[in-house]
Structure 1
Amino acid sequence: MDKTGGSVAAFIAEVTPAVRRRDAEVLVALMSEISGREPELWGTIIGFGSCHYRYATGNQGDMPILAFAPRKAASTIYFDALERHAAAMTDLGPHTSSVACLYVKDLEKVDESVLRGMLMRAYGDVVSGNTSYESLEVTG
């Protein structure tokens, strides 16, 4: 995945529906606060910081440390592995999930303190290298 260098503000201004645009603004503020980094576009993903990962299979690449995408159906928040957050997700509020993605249709309906804790743990795990990757190096 590569940074595309576009304007995050311009990208968010075009997001629909309006609830997704509102949630994107909240997530930018929250992830900026947690990471201490400015948002950058990685295609249609808004990311904070960057790291280089390598799986045991040899597959490797670059990705943001924290990231989300304001999709039409829901905001997609990316994690290394959501099973680490299973206990927190029981208290989060309405959401769906996959192995590494948390889908939220309306941030106002979830417990922001629980989401903040999940994001802080995810950020700390990546920065400390406590992930499912064979190797991980913070690059930005």
Structure 2
Amino acid sequence: MYELKTKETDENVIEFIENVESPKKREDAYRLLQLFTEVTGFEAKMWGPSIIGFGAYHYVYKTGHEGDAPLVGFSPRKAKISLYFAPGDTARETLLAKFGKHTTGKACVYINKVDDIDTDILKELIHQSILFLQSQYPEK
């Protein structure tokens, strides 16, 4: 059976951030930690070895595949900072048009540094993503 790689762990978020090599990425990680915590009201948790997640939801796909994931999160990766929001929502695309310098993947938004983006739009993206996921996957 398939085993999820990205699960909530007991690893320490601050220790993880302190081990980020780049001083600028480390500083940005602390800014994002404060911002995500403020907007979500959730305590930051490590998901897998490198994702800092906030809140959680349980999903079940039509295929029967299911698991748990953070509602939103980020990861200060070596190349870029990955931001995790709900994919496929039209509100997300509208907000991203005003977000600042970024690229997108299926579920990720990539930035070089926090100074490249509008943090007010980031707050809206976080809030919108949580509302969307909670409407799609209500708690039982």
Equivalent residue for 1:133? none
**1:54-98 CA distances to partner (integer Å, 9 max, x unpaired)?**
111111111111111110111101122155211221211111111
Equivalent residue for 1:62? 68
Q: CA deviation at 1:127?
A: 2.2
CA distance in 2 between partners of 1:50 and 1:114 (Å): 22
CA distance in 1 between partners of 2:108 and 2:132 (Å): 16
Structure 1 gap segments, 5+ residues each: 130-135
TM-score by length of 1: 0.87
In the TM superposition, 1:8-19 aligns within 5 A as: 8-19=13-24
Equivalent residue for 1:46? 52
Percent of pairs identical after alignment?
A: 33
Query: What amino acid is the match of 1:41?
Result: M
Q: Aligned pair count?
A: 133
Supply the RMSD in Å over aligned alpha carbons: 1.6
| Residue 105 of structure 2, aligned match among 88, 98, 114 | 98
CA distance in 1 between partners of 2:67 and 2:13 (Å): 22
Equivalent residue for 2:125? 118
Residues 83 and 126 of structure 1: is their aligned pair in 2 closer, same or farther, counting only changes over 3 Å? closer
Q: Does 1:108 align with 2:115?
A: yes
CA distance in 2 between partners of 1:59 and 1:122 (Å): 21
CA distance in 1 between partners of 2:122 and 2:31 (Å): 12
Structure 2 gap segments, 5+ residues each: 1-5
CA distance in 2 between partners of 1:18 and 1:110 (Å): 19
Equivalent residue for 1:81? 87
